[in-house]
Structure 1
Amino acid sequence: MARLSHRLIATALATASALTAGACSAGPPVRAPGRTTITFWTMPFWIGRPNNLKHLIEDFNASQSSIDVQLTVLDWQTGRETIKKAVLDGRGPDVWLANNGLELDLLTAARLAPLDTLGYTAEDLGRFRPMVKVNEYQGRLYGAPLYFDVNVLLYRKDILQQYGFPTPPTTWDELKSTAAAITGRSAAAGKKVMGWQFKGMDDHLNAINPTWESFLCQAGGTLTSPDFKASTQNTEAGRTAMTYMKSFYTDRTSATGTSALNGFVDGEVAMFSFYQSVISDIAAGNEKTKGKWAVAPMPVGPKSGCSAVGGHSLVARAGLPDPEAAGTFMRWLGSPSTSAQFMEFHGIFPYDTAKVPRETKVVVDSTYNTDPSWAAITTQFDRSTPDLLLQDRHAFQARWDAQKADVVAGVDGRTPVDQALRSIDGKVGKELNGG
């Protein structure tokens, strides 16, 4: 899931007040005469160009004679909780930005409107890629994806080539040996470069969640039992994944506390993995990174090459007086032609390109063909399944809090691996069983 911060978020937050024109997080909308007002709350997901969202809303309003959308932009640090609390309190927005996978308690409390009650037809829903299943609950879809994220391998071509590696690693064994060689040889040459960093073992602790879940998945592990009633990380797969990650720090290939992203941009980290939307941050390094890096699929683990999936969707509040108006806006903002624009920040196109209008397919195909990063991104996306996100929505907050503490402690050696995994299962299991 895209529960992340980026260097460019600071820019986005700085413009939020301009976007909202002083709007607060709650309160009655100002009704436009003769028009249905739809309140839309979001975080600034258009990385690097937050004003583009404002312009989209202006374009939609100008195209409508009976619908008026009022935009409120919230910050990434508090926005999701602000929305959730307001919705549960009955004073939330009509439409909002949600993480792919959706919030389980909003689903179980029937606070979200199924897409088929908002005017989405079977044809509309059938255009999405199969990964749309992450927004399914009890056989119905509740979220319309704007784009998907997937964990990929980011690597410095210049550094790998300098130390004799013309291609990126493709397996766990190759990743470890390549990283160890770069760390060791660079240190011996007098200018140490960390061969690898696990995102989340640094200044961005929240990132340990998609990082850990990717490696757990590759080891054949799951987050929960099939019935979602038990946490299942203290298993052979969990021990395999955490022991592997720990080995990078035990043998000093990696060092905790070093920023994966900043180190990568500065040429002090050779490789790391994260959601592909981090490409925008890497490109912002300009001359530090231009032409020096590339994207590859994740190195394949003992069981598979899967990885965590994220991204964002549009959802609507259940019980709206005019659900068709909300659906009209959602279908417009999340349409194939608009979603193609989100590929600018490397958001993965959520539609099957064989089922979209020809003019949109031309744009999408051209984007794929002009940026070599897309081949690796789409390969990785096709390796992944909805399973992790569907499991992750159960006791989500308890799991992400537990993993931030216990995975980091287990990997950096402060806590034995078995103890760290038992701790996660204990904390998450308690939540799964009603606290």
Structure 2
Amino acid sequence: MRRGIAATALVAALALAATACGGGDSGDKADGPVTLTWWDTSNATNEAPTYKAMIAEFEKANKDIKVKYVNVPFDQAQNKFQTAAGSKGAPDIIRAEVGWTASWAKSQFLAPLDGTPALDKQDDITPSLLKQAQYEGKTYGAPFVTDTLALMWNKDLLKKAGHDKAPATWDELKTVAKDVKDKAGVDGFWLNNATYYEMAFLFGEGTDMVDAANKKITINSPEAVKAVDTSKGVLAADGVAKLDVTADAYAHMQDAFVNGKVAMIVQGPWELTNIYKGASFKDKANLGISNVPAGSTGKAGAPTGGHNLSVYAGSDKSKQEAAQKFVGFMTSGATQAKIALKNGTLPTRTSAYTDEVKAAPGVAEFQQVLATSAQPRPDLPEYSTLLGDAFAQNLTKIFQGKTGTQAGLDAIAGEFKKLVPDFS
């Protein structure tokens, strides 16, 4: 979730906008099919093939619409779309992280979808996910997939350490991690220091980065200090892997987990497909999935993420209408069920949770986590941006001991004030 537009990103974005966007001349003949461009931000290896298959199915049933698929790396997509939309050259459809939707709607980059085929049968959509796609009373995204964070654990390794269930609190996790190190000879837990993952500690202390309802910055509150100190304590505990601040830290964590070099991580359902390919999880039943550990409040909390499909406001009428139809197809219950079975993602429609989908490895467990500990994001366009560089850099300094917890969080609060100046 990197923020800021570097010069190189601007150049790359404009180049991509000029060659693969829907706002300009698509080259369609007057009597030919409408050609749409879709920027997909999913994993190009594991998820994209399923989406391409769905496009083929849609085009077969809709001869007058063609969909040009472009996979854009997730960590580049936000900046690229903002740049392209600002120059009236964005794709007709984009798979947008839920935190981007309100911000882009505020910037008038997205077209409202209320009353269009993109949001057919709204009663079937999980209400909280629909709310996350709204801004000032209008809906600017069709919920496509949802997710949250859970504790994933290697059952065999925990069993070797004398534990048959996941730790329910962070203190219990430290105990289990030490036992795993002592008895199984591998690290017990790997802490991901990305800001999105730190939210589980904040929620566990009953706080957030901001109190949107009361327009108050809370990242440096006593509760937030306790949350960060809790994560520091976990990081320093026996049996916990050393902090990895390299550019490949995420990949290192995943590799360690799937190969049995670490017993527990906090992760989302987007990695299920990869995890089940790992040496330690050839037997899919070996993967445990449960709520993230609870903080001192006794309650576990994790952020609700996911992606919406949104339509670019700068596309002409014929393209917007075709895009609405395509979005409606891709986010329908029937299509989401097919995608869930192939990609291991969590649907946003009730009808997509068929018996077959619920029986798929990992899906039922994550559905339970969503119901018990996931917290929806507040209606704040800047919320996603708050998770960016200022938070990340200062959090890392705190973990490395280069600054104190309160001082580091005060620095983050100061940067937040620039993003939400009307907050106290």
Coarse TM-score class (shorter-chain normalised): 0.7 to 0.9
Alpha-carbon distance in 1 for matches of 2:280, 2:169: 30
Partner of 1:416: 404
Post-superposition offset of 1:171: 2.1
Q: Does 1:367 align with 2:365?
A: no
Alpha-carbon distance in 2 for matches of 1:412, 1:98: 33
Partner of 1:10: none
- Out of 249, 256, 263, the position equivalent to 2:243 is 256
Aligned-residue RMSD, C-alpha = 2.7
Post-superposition offset of 1:227: 4.3
Partner of 1:297: 291
Give deviations 1:315-368, integer Å, cap 9, x for gaps.
012254133322111101111111112213221110123xxxxxx55xx22221
Q: Mapping of 1:48-87 within 5 angstroms? A: 48-87=46-85
Q: Does 1:388 align with 2:377?
A: yes
Alpha-carbon distance in 2 for matches of 1:152, 1:389: 20
Post-superposition offset of 1:154: 0.7
Q: Mapping of 1:343-358 within 5 angstroms? A: 343=340, 344-353=342-351
Partner of 2:209: 223
Give the 3-state SS of the residue equivalent to 2:389 in structure 1: helix
- Out of 28, 31, 35, the position equivalent to 1:37 is 35
Conservation of the 8 A alpha-carbon contact between 1:395 and 1:432: no
Unaligned runs of 5+ in 2: 3-15
Conservation of the 8 A alpha-carbon contact between 2:26 and 2:35: yes
The percent of aligned pairs where both chains have the same amino acid is 22
Partner of 1:203: none
Counterpart residue identity of residue 170, structure 1: A
Give the 3-state SS of the residue equivalent to 2:149 in structure 1: strand
Post-superposition offset of 1:225: 2.4
Partner of 1:356: none
Alpha-carbon distance in 2 for matches of 1:402, 1:422: 11
Give deviations 1:254-304, integer Å, cap 9, x for gaps.
211273222212222111101122122211214665354321222222332
Counterpart residue identity of residue 366, structure 1: E
Partner of 1:209: 195
Post-superposition offset of 1:238: 0.7
Give the 3-state SS of the residue equivalent to 2:347 in structure 1: coil
Conservation of the 8 A alpha-carbon contact between 2:176 and 2:188: yes
Post-superposition offset of 1:395: 5.4
Q: Mapping of 1:72-221 within 5 angstroms? A: 72-116=70-114, 118-120=116-118, 124-132=121-129, 133-183=131-181, 185-186=182-183, 192-200=185-193, 208-221=194-207
Alpha-carbon distance in 2 for matches of 1:178, 1:286: 22
Post-superposition offset of 1:422: 0.8
Unaligned runs of 5+ in 1: 5-19, 201-207, 354-359
Conservation of the 8 A alpha-carbon contact between 1:23 and 1:72: no
Give deviations 1:71-127, integer Å, cap 9, x for gaps.
222233423322221112211111111111334442112221111153456x62221
Partner of 1:314: 309
Alpha-carbon distance in 1 for matches of 2:19, 2:61: 23
Alpha-carbon distance in 1 for matches of 2:144, 2:383: 24
Give deviations 1:8-44, integer Å, cap 9, x for gaps.
xxxxxxxxxxxx9x96457521215333332222224
Give the 3-state SS of the residue equivalent to 2:58 in structure 1: helix
Partner of 1:429: 417
